[in-house]
Structure 1
């Protein structure tokens, strides 16, 4: 969250009340005027295709998918990308009536009659997947969690968690292994078979099928070996129903920790060399590999109790790097696609700002600038490790019928887009191959991985070029959410192949592409009027900083100058005929 501040003063809004925080003197150095910086982009320095790793999204609550604001947001997400967007959701096999709640969802896909015979009902699952398919999206079909009738410890089954409760309260009967692996396998087989019948073989071949979520923590109440056994039964069922289906795992979280690495290696060792629980043969089918990586924001306080939000991008990048390193250590697996199944600034989308003040970055431009800077470094880390990064899932969606700008990690609030969604609109305009970026840049991926962004600001760029366009995304990011002067930035673009180009300059900052700042100027209304909602919806769209302009190219070069605010992001789009 960002508020207008005077030097040395920081105001944070927590659920309608104000705390004024005096910034420690050690932080005032950030108000020193930044030195002018020139970023040099070379369109002739081709670095290969820029994979749309950003076109991947996910969320805990599957039943939000087909609700009013869920459908609206999914439509907007699908429209910002030239390629199909992949969507991952939890709880697709959970028993229940389909009522949506925080950290909860259900489909009632599997129950049993009085004789213990399986009863399959795909009504809610189809409703979810139909919503994706209608928008040209691709499901990441998460096989889980355990239906009540199959759970080895079914009661209690449903939780009623809310922000402020103990997070461990959510892990109930749905998190346990099956009491009958054969029945579980048949459930998976019937789901895949049904999907092929409903959507067609070619469509389902384009999906990703995966088992469970974060089985190295309490999402899985079984042992590591029981997860491996479940994977064998699951993969066998998927492949029996559709031999060409893509099957993967294990979706472990925090590869930087010793416990996660132990689980990850046990799984990888098994799929390569282990005895398959179903076939008795060596190894298990695997077509892609998944893990999670999160950052670690905190509220930094002075001795007096005063403080501010401080992000930690380095924590997230270290987890990503360790995950890549682990995959790369298996010669037969290192070229498989990697999906970072959840890739975010921290670990609880449903933990609101009013209960967790370190999450006060989510409504404003700190979230959007973090996203721009971190995604660029994911490309760099994958290249450095020589692995095949296919996607990085942003675990953020929307929370239906919640308070406006409550501070969830979401892309929109009550149907109004937040600034972070506009970064993905920018990514959607970046096509073709990545090209070279250099200059007097303070950070590369290795320095942020090792140190995060705690000294000077991270002012850098990501650039692309195709046959008739080029795009340069520029950000001005810092881990510490403190006031700072705008940065004078010049972007020198060389290798432009024509004499004149049309330049469009898009911006995300306090004044542009920012519904949150507009809402605050309205007085932070709890129930905006219809006219205010219309204004907020317009403010949430990606905006041009200036009018489009035709510029003459001199010696193949264009020079563009800007003042870029702290936590601001610009996209320079060049087009020619």
Structure 2
């Protein structure tokens, strides 16, 4: 126990570690060319998800969803587990329920959309859209229902959650009718045009313990499910299979078998060849570890999953241009495993999570360009956990209604519009280097993503100072030259996430880490959690259509320059 507290002290306060090298860092010179477009700045980041659907309509859940909707220039898509799980709607970690399907004493189906409606109403009221997950198996339909309700807690074996909801149905016809009735109800409640804008998907990570059947049984369930969706709404968008870890042999085999089935397999419902497929989905995760008393991230592991998934989809001519959704895209695989039971997750409260996220999404764009695929979105499996300890170290965007630094990266991304443009310079890493070997050299990954919005005479440049190893280091001097500005002067606004800006966690620590903060302290934390400027906006003269911006960027810090003219 003493060792655990000592370790947490190191992880929570990395600045207390001795700094091995106090010498000044070399200047990183970044060149941005607004005249060289690389592709659209699609809001692939505007997708979020979570295990516990009943948090959706609770106090802090509604607050966070409103914030997510407000920061995005397009409708945010939301993916949640347990939309068909049996229960009374009581929320718990890695659990949720809607009681959408039960049976009476004679085995006749009873449909109840009350809780699902509360969930989807909350989204629709905010202009958000469901990435509607068809799952999990209702207790009355499960081929192996008992035990069903789990009571997992952090620190307990993960396998404890894998109960009767994971199994195939004992009656595929009843299952299909459930899906048909759900989609029909959705069309009646929200309108055909609205539901046409959703994505309907089957299950979660069927190559793992989340699916208690075989790959062939998953394909059969997919056929029944998507036939039911399309009978209710012929124009609905359907897809899958949401395998996890396509860089691994097992996941790659599952994904390939699924795509082969959709292309040329015998459909279990129609008897014809193939199955409808409007998008392809898979999951990608990193792998943090504790190394010599500090957290070491592994961005490369996550990028290799993405690269492998893109490559597999691109290898099928029939599907190579379909939208790809990375249904979960995160630094690791368990949002509800806090840092006290899993010390490697101590990255989540502070700036390591935000800098990782900035660097990761930039490389996702590059990987999509590299593989020439239609990258639609990447779901950040991070939301909030209602009525839990403050800054417990869950993978969430906010704690008790107070935003964490990582949420401010999404606020930054929300300001980046138009087309991505060329970035160059004396950069220590390129995309392929990070994919293949992560960020493990002595030098940090200081790089940038830039965009130009011609509709608003604006440009944005996001710059990050990321390293896998959460160790202290001197600030790095960074020079950003923005070329191709068609104006004599620009207004520059500089936003920053670091230890002293856009960071409620450090403010909470300075308060003494209270678990029962006063209303005044909560208000202070709420303000600290918002995106903040580093300095007041200033007007800068251009020289030959260029401006040079200089800053000292702390390790794990993120800057966003917004230029308008």
Alignment of 1:75-90 (within 5 A): 75-90=66-81
> For 1:125-145, what per-residue CA distance to the aligned partner results, in whole angstroms no more than 9, with x for missing partners?
000000000000010000000
Tell me the CA shift for residue 34 of structure 1: 1.6
Q: Does residue 550 of structure 2 align to residue 561 of structure 1?
A: yes
Task: Indicate which of 412, 423, 431 corresponds to 1:437.
Answer: 423
In the TM superposition, what is the alpha-carbon distance from 1:11 to its structure 2 partner? 7.0
Q: How does 1:33-432 map to 2 (within 5 A)?
A: 33-301=24-292, 307-432=293-418
CA contact (8 A) 1:11 1:20 kept: no
Does 2:15 align with 1:28? no
C-alpha distance in 1 between matches for 2:449 and 2:186? 39
Does the residue aligned with 1:51 lie in a helix, a strand or coil? coil
Q: Could you list the runs of 5+ residues in structure 1 that have no partner in the other structure?
A: 1-9, 302-306
The SS at the match of 1:361 is: helix
Residue by residue over 1:65-109, the C-alpha shift from the partner in whole angstroms, topping out at 9 and shown as x without a partner, is 000000000000000001000000000000000000000000000
SS in 2 for 1:443: coil
**Distance in 1 separating the partners of 2:489 and 2:16:** 50
Q: Deviations over 1:270-294 (max 9, x none)?
A: 0001000000110000000000000
1:21 CA displacement? 8.8
Aligned with 1:393: secondary structure?
Answer: strand
2:432 is matched with 446
Distance 2:312 2:354 in 1: 29
Aligned residues: 557
Per-residue CA distance 1:33-80 (angstroms, 9 max, x = gap): 320111000000111211100000000000000000000000000000
TM-score by length of 1: 0.95
Shift of 1:20: 11
The 8 Å contact of residues 48 and 77 in structure 2, kept in 1 or not, is answered as yes
TM-score (norm 2): 0.97
Q: How far apart, in 2, do the equivalents of 1:220 and 1:387 lie?
A: 28
* Alpha-carbon distance change, 21 to 497 in structure 1, aligned in 2, over 3 angstroms: closer
Please tell me whether the aligned partners of residues 15 and 354 of structure 1 are also in contact (alpha carbons under 8 angstroms): no
How big is the shift at 1:12? 3.5
Q: Distance in 2 between matches of 1:21 and 1:547?
A: 31
Q: 2:10–2:16: 8 Å Cα contact kept in structure 1?
A: no
Q: C-alpha distance in 2, partners of 1:20/1:567?
A: 12
User: Aligned with 1:87: secondary structure?
Assistant: strand
Q: Write the distance in 2 (CA, Å) between the matches of 1:320 and 1:507.
A: 28
User: Cα RMSD (Å) of the superposition?
Assistant: 1.5
Q: Which structure 2 residue ranges, 5 or more long, are not aligned?
A: 1-5
Match of 1:505 among 487, 494, 498: 494
Q: Distance in 1 between matches of 2:375 and 2:352?
A: 25
Residue 196 of structure 1: SS of its match in structure 2? helix
Query: Which SS does the other structure have where 1:289 is aligned?
Result: strand
Query: 1:15 & 1:105 partners in 2: Cα distance?
Result: 31
Deviations 1:119-170 (A, max 9, x none): 0000000000000000000100000000000000111101000000000000
Moved segments of 4+, more than 4 Å: 18-23
